């Protein structure tokens, strides 16, 4: 009998090649807003990874700051310096450098919190949908209660209870964000467990744990891609609101939101650039993420096709 090796012919075409030949990529290429969105997001990712190596100063290294250069306007205005493209703040921090570092913190918070919320929500949603009954009722009622509060308010409560700090922000965001995964996953789990392949796994004698991990989980993940993408944007905004309200990240780790707050005090003294530029960057980031999310929703939701 022939030995059973994987068939080289199908393997010859790499994953990458198959992706570029796929309908998904074909539609992506022709969708201007999807391309724009992903370019923006990609731009931010590049900026936060290699940006700190390029910008002239580390705005949080006091030794690099020059108080003499405080409140310099952007380079193209009178009194501006080509050293500080987007001007400086009251401590002589380069606004552009602050934005690069701030975006890094904002994005890390958004991504980590999204990951945590996704993990928690997916686990709870799988349990609720698969086992049903009382467990399901309890989990989903908690989710309902959670949803009846505005998310910023919930986060604000939690922050005032636990205090501020990066970890507290993450906890607040995760406890706000898990619900959407739990509900989505529970719905898909209910649908998938009705399908015959799950029944076949039961008939084969698979324990529930294996059925959930091997059969249900892989089949409920696709809709989460959309939720997760958009949620990164939402989290960046919530975190910015919290920081703006003074209950977010500590001043030593300023996010884009904290930058806006810092500049807000001097906004009406004509020193607009200190908070407007971070604001524009938040807007751009969330805009890009949402464009990408919309495209993914159209592509991955079979009902819209």
Angle subtended at Cα 230 by Cα 247 and Cα 59, rounded to the nearest 5 degrees: 45
Least spacing, CB of residue 198 vs another protein, in Å:
8
Among 13, 29, 141, 195, binds another protein (CB under 8 A): 195
197: contact with another protein by CB under 8 A: yes
Among 53, 63, 205, 303, binds another protein (CB under 8 A): 205
196: contact with another protein by CB under 8 A: yes
270: contact with another protein by CB under 8 A: no
Least spacing, CB of residue 6 vs another protein, in Å:
6
Least spacing, CB of residue 3 vs another protein, in Å:
8
201: contact with another protein by CB under 8 A: yes
Least spacing, CB of residue 4 vs another protein, in Å:
3
Q: Which stretch binds another protein (CB under 8 A): 28-36, 161-169, 212-220, 233-241?
A: 212-220
Torsion angles phi and psi, residue 256, rounded to 5: -60, -35
168: contact with another protein by CB under 8 A: no
Angle subtended at Cα 287 by Cα 229 and Cα 302, rounded to the nearest 5 degrees: 45
Task: Give the tokens for residue 173.
Answer: 């965001």
How far apart, in whole angstroms, are the C-alpha atoms of residue 67 and residue 92?
Answer: 5
Cβ distance to another protein smaller for residue 94 or 136: 136
Burial of 267-303, coded b for 16+ CB within 10 Å and e otherwise, reads eeeebbbbbbbbbebbeebbbbbbbbbbbbbebeeee
39: contact with another protein by CB under 8 A: no
Least spacing, CB of residue 24 vs another protein, in Å:
10
- Continuous segment of H or E residues that includes residue 44: helix 32-54
Among 218, 251, 264, 280, binds another protein (CB under 8 A): 218
300: contact with another protein by CB under 8 A: no
What sign does the CA torsion over 279, 285, 291, 297 have?
negative
Nearest C-alpha neighbor of 103 from the set 290, 8, 9, 240? 240
Number of residues that bind another protein (CB under 8 A): 27
Cβ distance to another protein smaller for residue 137 or 145: 137
Q: How many residues make up the chain in this entry?
A: 305
Nearest C-alpha neighbor of 56 from the set 96, 87, 92? 96
- Residue located via tokens 């650039």: 273
Stretch 9-38: interaction string toward another protein, x if CB under 8 A: -x------------x--x------------
Q: Which residues bind another protein (CB under 8 A)?
A: 1-7, 10, 23, 26, 195-197, 199-207, 210, 214-215, 218-219
């Amino acid at each position: 009998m022939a030995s059973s090796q994987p068939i080289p012919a199908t393997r010859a075409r790499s994953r990458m090649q198959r992706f570029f030949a796929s309908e998904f990529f074909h539609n992506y290429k022709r969708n201007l807003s999807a391309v724009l969105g992903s370019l923006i997001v990609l731009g931010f990712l590049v900026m936060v990874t290699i940006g700190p190596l390029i910008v002239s100063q580390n705005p949080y290294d006091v030794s690099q700051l020059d108080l003499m250069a405080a409140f310099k306007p952007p380079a193209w205005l009178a009194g501006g310096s080509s050293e500080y493209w987007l001007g400086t703040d009251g401590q002589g921090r380069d606004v552009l450098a602050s934005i690069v570092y701030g975006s890094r913190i904002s994005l890390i918070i958004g991504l980590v919190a999204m990951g945590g919320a996704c993990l928690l929500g997916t686990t709870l949603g799988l349990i609720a949908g698969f086992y049903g009954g009382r467990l399901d009722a309890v989990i989903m009622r908690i989710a309902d209660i959670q949803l009846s509060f505005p998310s910023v308010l919930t986060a604000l409560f939690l922050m005032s209870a636990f205090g501020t700090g990066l970890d507290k922000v993450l906890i607040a965001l995760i406890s706000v964000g898990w619900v959407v995964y739990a509900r989505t996953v529970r719905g898909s789990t209910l649908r998938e467990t009705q399908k015959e392949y799950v029944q076949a796994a039961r008939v084969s004698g698979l324990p529930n744990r294996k059925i959930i991990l091997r059969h249900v989980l892989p089949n409920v993940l696709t809709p989460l891609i959309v939720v997760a993408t958009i949620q990164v944007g939402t989290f960046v905004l919530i975190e910015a609101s919290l920081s703006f309200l003074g209950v977010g990240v500590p001043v030593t780790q300023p996010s884009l939101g904290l930058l806006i707050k810092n500049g807000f005090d001097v906004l009406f003294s004509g020193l607009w650039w200190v908070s407007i530029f971070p604001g524009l960057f938040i807007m751009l980031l969330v805009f890009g993420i949402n464009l990408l999310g919309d495209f993914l929703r159209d592509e991955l939701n079979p009902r819209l096709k």
